[in-house]
Structure 1
Amino acid sequence: MTAGAVLVASLGSVGVANAQPVTPAAPAVVAQAGAQAAAPEFVAPGKTLKIGAKGNEVKVLQGRLKELGYAPGKIDGRYGGATQAAVWAFQKVNGISPTSTVASRTWNALEAPKAPKVLVPGGKPTRVEMNLAKQVMVLYVNGQVKLISHTSSGSGIPYCETANWNGKVQRFCGDARTPTGDYKTTWRRSGWHKSYLGQLYNPIFFNGGIAFHGALSVPLAPASHGCVRLPMNVAGMLPSLLGKNVPVHVRGKFVR
Structure 2
Amino acid sequence: MGVRRRLAAAVVLTAGAVLVSGGAAGAEQTGPLARTGAAAAGHVVTQAVAIPAAPVTQARAAKPFVAPHGSLKLGAKGAAVKELQSRLRELGYVPGEIDAKYGGTTQSAVWAFQKVQGISPTSTIGNRTWRALELPKAPQVLVPNGKPDRVEINLTKQIAVLYRAGQVRLITHISSGSGIPYCETAVWQGKTQRFCGSARTPTGNFKTTWRRSGWHKSYLGQLYNPIFFNGGIALHGALSVPLYPASHGCVRLPMHVAQVLPGLLGTGVPVHVKGRFQR
Aligned-pair Cα RMSD in Å = 1.1
1:66 maps to 2:66:
no
SS in structure 2 at match of 1:146:
strand
SS in structure 1 at match of 2:61:
coil
Counterpart contact for 1:94–1:113, Cα < 8 Å: yes
Counterpart contact for 1:26–1:112, Cα < 8 Å: no
TM-fit CA distance, 1:25: 3.5
Q: Following the alignment from structure 2 to structure 1, what is the Cα–Cα distance between the partners of residues 105 and 61?
A: 27
Q: Following the alignment from structure 2 to structure 1, what is the Cα–Cα distance between the partners of residues 95 and 266?
A: 22
SS in structure 2 at match of 1:30:
helix
1:227 maps to 2:250:
yes
SS in structure 1 at match of 2:186:
strand
Moved over 4 A (4+): none
TM-fit CA distance, 1:26: 7.4
Q: Following the alignment from structure 2 to structure 1, what is the Cα–Cα distance between the partners of residues 277 and 180?
A: 13
Matched residue type, 1:216: L
- TM alignment of 1:73-222, pairs within 5 A: 73-222=96-245
Q: Per-residue displacement from partner, 1:209-253 (whole Å, max 9, x unpaired)?
A: 000000000000000000000000000000000000000000000
Matched residue type, 2:159: V
* Count of paired positions: 225
Counterpart contact for 1:26–1:68, Cα < 8 Å: no
Higher helix share: 2
TM-fit CA distance, 1:46: 2.8
Counterpart contact for 1:24–1:115, Cα < 8 Å: no
Counterpart contact for 2:156–2:277, Cα < 8 Å: yes
TM-fit CA distance, 1:142: 0.2
The TM-score normalised by the length of structure 1 is: 0.86
Q: Following the alignment from structure 1 to structure 2, what is the Cα–Cα distance between the partners of residues 241 and 101?
A: 31
SS in structure 2 at match of 1:162:
strand
**Structure having greater relative contact order (Cα 8 Å, sep ≥ 6):** 1
Query: Matched residues, percent identical?
Result: 74
The answer for unaligned runs of 5 or more in structure 2 is 1-54
The answer for unaligned runs of 5 or more in structure 1 is 1-22, 32-38
Counterpart contact for 1:189–1:203, Cα < 8 Å: yes
Counterpart contact for 1:133–1:254, Cα < 8 Å: yes
Matched residue type, 2:190: G
Matched residue type, 2:56: P
Counterpart contact for 2:57–2:167, Cα < 8 Å: no
SS in structure 2 at match of 1:50:
coil
Partner residue in 2 for 1:3: none
